[in-house]
Structure 1
Amino acid sequence: MSDEHMPHGADQLCETGSVLYTRAVREGRIRGGDAEPAPCLLEFGFLKTDADDARWLKPVAPAVVLPRLLRTIEDRVARHRRREEKLTATFEPFLALQPQAPSGTHEHSLITALEGFPRIAAAIEQAVAETSREALVIQPGGARPLESLRQSLPRSREILARGGRMRTLYQHTTRHDAAALSHYERLEGDVEVRTLDEVTDRLFVFDRAVAFIPVNKQRDVALRIRLPALVEYFATTFDRLWSMATPLYPRAAPQPPENGITTRQRAIAALLVEGLTDAEIATRLGMNIRTARVHIAKLAATLGSGSRTQLGYLIGQSGILSQQP
């Protein structure tokens, strides 16, 4: 094995690996010894041992390799979700032991449980008043409630007026929400919005000094976190998701359909291949189940599928997942 081969990720295939994989795809196989300078090809699943002759390596089809690697992005999001849930569960018994602060006191605990929407809103208002540099926000789901947008407008303007910047992550379903777009057009300052197929649960990070996360699905209990290591973890999670997201505001990146398949339908196709149900797909992509089924039906019609099983097969054969950005 070559000592000069430097470790790298699958998204940055080395030049030697690229040349060898190209050759393997064109010729159908390469000798095992030829692949020694690029161990990454076996590590990332670009090549596999020939079942008929172990001295040879056969290429895994690009249409199979690419969707598998793309799914690692979604796996990262899922891992972040599980880590958040595990972290919350770990701290629940400790939070139960923490005495409630008297009404009107200024709380500066490293981790504080906030019960009830009024108390949560008051704590966020306080954090906004102390924010001078940056606000990072993740909002899962589709269209934003008008009342939520109305309430957040003065908070956003307050941060921007002090020269702070705002970065917000939504799911792709928000790209068609006229109310949300209108909301950001009413703001002046350093504001950016991006979208992903999937995001973590709701998250607020202010000045990378304090973070807020929900404790339960009803979101009527939240944690205010000032522990530096945890706040940095949440901010880093945001930064990684942000780097993978598609710009929406102020300059929206186009998402044109390819071969009659829209970006949203490709996202659904990837989840169908994973074996998710209609309800699970709707939840993951922030849409209602009726909308999810409409997109699945359109995808099936475009690919000429007559059954769920056939649809999964046709998705794999069509190569549409390899068109994902």
Structure 2
Amino acid sequence: MPDAPPFPTPLRTGDFDYDLPERLIAQAPARPRDSARLLVVGDGRLEDRGVLDLPAMLDPGDVLVVNDTRVIPARLHGRRGEARVEIMLNRAEGGGLWHALIRNARRLRPGDTVAIEGAEGCVARVVERDGGSALLDFGPDQAALAAALEQAGEVPLPPYIHRDGKPGAEDVADYQTIFAERPGAVAAPTASLHFTDQLLAALDARGIRRATVTLHVGAGTFLPVREDDPRAHHIHQEWCDVSPEAADTINQARAEGRRVVAVGTTALRTTESAAREDGTVAPFRGLTDLYILPGYRFRAVDALVTNFHLPKSTLLMLVSAFAGTRRMRAAYAHAVAQEYRFFSYGDGSLLFRCDQDSPA
């Protein structure tokens, strides 16, 4: 990444850019999943480790916060008359309503109906449209919609993962985490893709506890930041849930002086959305649009397991806020030089929080 201006001068999206050879964009996960590499980023150090080393990097009593969202086959193709549209379901609004991102959305008007290809009888009515997004009504029969998605929907792989034709059966399995329970995400919480039964057993043996939260990842996670000032970027709302049990587990760890380790940026954003000023976490269920940029004061999360993120993305800005802009610049330069694998199917990193007033 280019040199960033001294904190706290205005942020620039270009400060979060870096050069990445295309060959380093992973097109499939490591096999087995827990054989991926892990770059440890701490106080003045970079360590090349492996995902299976994670238990040794944590202390007994630390808590991993994991996201149990389950990816749904959210990409649909439809027709309004002769016009074809691509629908990316983004967020369930209840009662059969879905906020969706639409390719070729200019062909749609409120009141139009769209027939879903490959799912006989499945029709969506356009309730409203706003630019490239729309509110669609699939009707109140949720079981029928779920069946239509299984029949006609596609796994919504990110645009940088290339396939000849539709994603195959292997991707259906690969793009789902070991924690996946609650359907609703249109993108995987990819840090969790590294976890296996073997790794979980090692973490249990080490005395690492787990708290499970939910954030249904929306299609907005793929949207680039196009504005020169990242603060002008709009982040889509996503539904999340922190149960009383999860809040209690996190709060007990904090009271004991243990660390709270978020597995993925989704788990971090969910936890921070529910955090109080004193760092304790309250039960929470609802929408979050928490947008974390350098200068954000983290309240509850001490460490973060995460993959390597796209240039100029909100997630690269988040990890820079967490671990320090200069530190992350060095980490990404090291990862490129050492040919780590990047993005959703790529390698991981373990970041420790930097609480200084400048992006160290």
Shared fold (TM-score greater than 0.5)?
no
Higher strand share: 2
Higher helix share: 1
TM-score (norm 1): 0.26
TM-score (norm 2): 0.24
